[in-house]
Amino acid sequence: MEYLRGFFDLWGAGLPHFATLDTHVILFLGVVIGLIFGALPGLSASMALAIFIPFTFGFDPYQGIAFLVAMYVATCFGGALTAILVNIPGAPSSVSTAFDGYPMAQRGEAGRAIGTAALASSLGGLVGLMMLMLFSPLIVSLARKFGTWEYTLLAVMGITIISYVSRGSMVKGLIGGVLGLMLATVGEDPIIAYPRFTLNSVELAGGINFVVLLIGLFGMAEALLQLEKTGVAVPIQKLSGFARSFRDIGRNFKCFLRSSMIGTLIGAVPAAGPTIATVVSYGVAKRTSKSPQRFGQGSSEGLVAAEAADNACVGGALIPMMCLGIPGCPMTAVLIGALLIHGLSPGPRLFADNPAYVSSIYIGYGLALIWVLFCGILGARLLAKVITIPRHMLLSLIMLLCMVGAYSLSRSMFDVLLVVVFGILGYFLQKVGIPPAPIILGAVLGPMFEPNLRRSLILSQGSMLPYVTRPLCLVILGIIGFIVAINFVQTRAAGDDDNDED
């Protein structure tokens, strides 16, 4: 009974902030922007979030967080539009959507495919939201027992996960993570306030603005990379048959529920991400289907499996971010940065000290799913036209938004200069195989790792013994060991496969 009372109290804490029309207009704008960024190949959710964080400073803080969550949710579905219309996934997680969505479009059922994807994505996200609300209080109650030793190891676990986020060489991923940790040390010492690595610059005395780093690495660098690629002519197809999508969901309801649960569970695993969730869900659906031969030929069941898992993954990914303060993917790393900028610290204290913000995330997530459904079905024709915008014009606009966003932070040209510097740096780092995600994760985890490590050593008088004697520390160490072992086994297996091919 007490659990239910706390559940409803948490929901009620944020409701007053959604009683005004402007909040819903802001949510709608977040969904539209997210759909555009998700639909256009080369643009990503992390880029959209990084670019638009500065613009949330003009909103009420609750509206700003809900706006970013709505954008995150919408980008997950946006990638399905190009996957269905032209067989070019707008996001990596939409690859599985293209398997059956594009064949349906070729049969003249593009409208039905988009409608089915929108329904499955929205309802799958609803399942993810329910799981988020159900499990978050349980994890928070456990995390409240954490001390400074446990938080230090949590940061180490997050740094270990970087090797997965890098999607490639473990060494290159860790190089990026260490670079992020180094960038986090710029500015005043967190304990004695002594300036470090500031190069006698007044602008760097307070450290590198996290939003500037995000915009540079995810916005400017990605735009520079995309300028090298040639655009694709996109024919606008006739869209019809949306009504049949409701029947597709009902006919494949069992597949929908299973895929939503798979998406949520995989999303809750740090660094797993929506791409793995959609691939696993699609594979399970094909294996358990009564007509697996139809998969890849325009099967509505395969389309439902992929899209339900995609948006359900958002709810799962928010669990470690909100409860433990650990970003498991680039998008949640950006959201953590947004919370920190608004004066909030993700983790167990967020639920106790700022329940209205937690409630705003829940409600914003739920309302965004409704807007995704309506915009995905009713606005599909307009979104299809957006895809035809010339790439050079779009990327030029994005680079301009990056600079405007950086300048709006503190009206400083120094921030604009840093965005350009980080953009160029991120461009060259990606050229040598070091993606921006590990750098961002390192920069996010740095403020958690350093103070807690130093504080734990002070409390234990320099002894490391508590790290191997406290029960929760041993559990976290076991998880870290498991992550390292799995990564090692996968790397060896990949190496053996390459040798076999040779």
Distance of alpha carbon 382 from alpha carbon 312, whole angstroms: 26
Q: What is the largest CA-CA distance in the chain?
A: 71
Read off the tokens for 373.
Answer: 């459904």
Helix axes 436-459, 413-431, angle to 10 degrees: 110
Please give the span between the terminal C-alpha atoms of the chain, in angstroms, as a whole number.
Answer: 63
Other C-beta atoms closer than 10 Å to the C-beta of 464 total 11
* Measured torsion, CA atoms of residues 440, 441, 442, 443, in degrees rounded to the nearest 10: 50
pLDDT of residue 154: 80
Distance of alpha carbon 231 from alpha carbon 222, whole angstroms: 15
3-state secondary structure of 187: strand
Provide the strand spans (E) within 302-391.
none
Residues 6+ apart with CB under 8 A from 490: none
Distance of alpha carbon 359 from alpha carbon 362, whole angstroms: 5
Residues 6+ apart with CB under 8 A from 79: 38, 39, 89, 90, 91, 92, 93, 94, 97, 310
What burial class does residue 411 get, using C-beta atoms within 10 Å of its C-beta: 0-12 exposed, 13-18 middle, 19+ buried? Answer: exposed
Q: In terms of DSSP H, where are the helices of 43-147?
A: 45-52, 61-86, 95-106, 110-143
Model's pTM, two decimal places? Answer: 0.75
Read off the tokens for 181.
Answer: 């940790």
Query: Looking at the 3D structure of the chain, how many domains does it have?
Result: 1
| CA distances for 308 relative to 121, 127, 245, 314, 414, angstroms | 5, 9, 13, 11, 44
In a structure prediction context, what are the per-residue pLDDT tens digits for the chain, which is 502 residues long?
444 555 556 666 667 778 788 888 889 999 988 888 887 766 777 778 888 888 887 787 788 888 988 998 888 888 787 778 767 666 767 777 888 888 888 777 777 888 888 888 888 889 888 888 887 777 777 767 778 888 888 878 777 766 555 555 667 777 888 888 888 888 888 777 788 888 888 888 778 877 788 788 877 887 888 777 655 444 555 555 556 767 777 888 888 888 888 888 877 766 556 777 787 888 888 888 888 778 878 888 888 888 888 888 888 888 888 887 777 677 787 788 777 777 777 777 777 777 888 888 888 888 999 888 888 777 666 666 666 667 677 778 878 888 887 787 777 888 889 889 998 998 898 888 887 777 877 787 787 788 888 888 888 888 888 888 888 889 888 888 887 777 677 666 655 555 555 5
pLDDT of residue 441: 75
**Bridge partner residues of 196 (DSSP):** 187
Other C-beta atoms closer than 10 Å to the C-beta of 293 total 9
Q: b/e per residue, 91-117, with b = 16+ CB within 10 A?
A: bbbbbbbbbbbbbbbeeebbbbbbbbb
3-state secondary structure of 243: coil
Domain coverage including residue 476: 2-501
C-beta separation of 360 from 62 below 8 A: yes
Distance of alpha carbon 276 from alpha carbon 329, whole angstroms: 12
CA triplet 379, 385, 389: central angle to 5 degrees?
135
Q: b/e per residue, 123-158, with b = 16+ CB within 10 A?
A: bbbbbbbebbbebbbebbeebeebebbbbbbbbbbb
pLDDT of residue 246: 72
Distance of alpha carbon 141 from alpha carbon 164, whole angstroms: 28
DSSP 387-456: TTS-HHHHHHHHHHHHHHHHHHHHS-HHHHHHHHHHHHHHHHHHHTT--HHHHHHHHHHHHHHHHHHHHH
C-beta separation of 347 from 143 below 8 A: yes
Distance of alpha carbon 38 from alpha carbon 78, whole angstroms: 4
**Dihedral sign from CA coordinates of 32, 33, 39, 45:** negative
Side chain identity at 45, as an amino acid letter?
A: A
